[in-house]
Amino acid sequence: MTRLLLILSLASLACSLPNLVAENRPLAAESGQTPTEKPVPTADILTVIVTANKALNVRTGPAVTYPTTSFYLLAGWRVEIVSECVGGWVKIEYSGMMGWVNADYLDDGSVCQ
């Protein structure tokens, strides 16, 4: 009886999942605004180390609602920060590729503080 209730509960939950999943679209598309980034002066470009436990997604904009890019970062890799923080996110450059990452996963997490 307990197994049947558990199965029915999981089935009910699974049926409601499509309503709970957010669309993966840029935040800017929702608000009609584009993120404003302020480039870091060349003399002040900061090189930091990725500290994420798993592969760190690099995104096309400063939020999880933006799509991921074609590359990711691994712990120990060095990246350059090329813009100031926007809501806890920074634009980085790695091997000629650019994208946005959450600053909590760089150095000790205090990049944007």
CA distance linking residue 21 with residue 92, whole number of Å: 28
The domain segmentation of the chain, as residue ranges, is: 2-105
Given this model, what pLDDT does residue 35 score? 59
**Distance (Å, rounded) from C-alpha 71 to C-alpha 12?**
37
pLDDT tens digit string along 43-70?
467 899 999 999 999 999 999 999 999 9
Backbone angles phi, psi at 49, to 5 degrees: -110, 135
Query: What phi-psi label fits residue 89: left (phi over 0), alpha (psi between -120 and 50 degrees) or beta?
Result: beta
Residues of the chain with pLDDT under 50: 2-11, 13-33, 43
**CATH, domain range 2-105:** 2.30.30.40
The separation between the first and the last C-alpha atoms of the chain, rounded to the nearest angstrom, is 53
pLDDT of residue 65: 96
